Amino acid sequence: QLQLVESGGGLVQPGGSLRLSCAAFGFTLDYYAIGWFRQAPGKEREGVACISGSDGSTYYANSVKGRFTISGDNAKNTVHLQMNSLKPEDTAVYYCAAGPWYQAMCVKSNSFESWGQGTQVTVSS
């Protein structure tokens, strides 16, 4: 059974940094794409960054390009999201999700099959 566990959320001041981690259990990242999505109150879920376990290719939403970096450690079956220069508009619940590498698309959240429980990120002074 596929399971994803997120960690690393919290409260940070604008301009600060956080590192989210997504540990995968029950499958290997080599055959999956892992995505980080976020959802703020009253807003739709947004694909923030995705990485393919098969070739390491990445995708970033325009809103986070140059500030967020997604990376995978296949040996540890873990994916990280390094978030720098955080803004109040980055405040949301962040979820990691897994889908088959050949069909998962960051712009289509329903192409991902398994989801973690989410971790809150709050950017506020």
Cβ proximity of 25 and 15 under 8 Å: no
Query: Per-residue pLDDT tens for 38-76?
Result: 999 999 999 999 999 888 999 999 999 999 999 998 889
Pick from 23, 19, 18: nearest CA to 5: 23
Neighbours of 54 (CB within 10 A): 15
Whether 33 and 100 have beta carbons less than 8 Å apart is answered as: yes
Termini Cα distance of the chain: 40
Residues 94 and 61: beta-carbon distance below 8 Å? no
Q: How confident is the model at residue 28 (pLDDT cuts 50, 70, 90)?
A: confident
Distances in Å between the Cα of 93 and the Cα atoms of 45, 54, 65, 73, 110 are 9, 27, 19, 23, 17
- For the segment 77-110, what is each residue's pLDDT rounded down to a tens digit? 999 999 999 999 999 999 999 999 888 889 899 9
Tell me: pLDDT of 2 over 90: no
Hey, what are 67's tokens? Answer: 């500030």
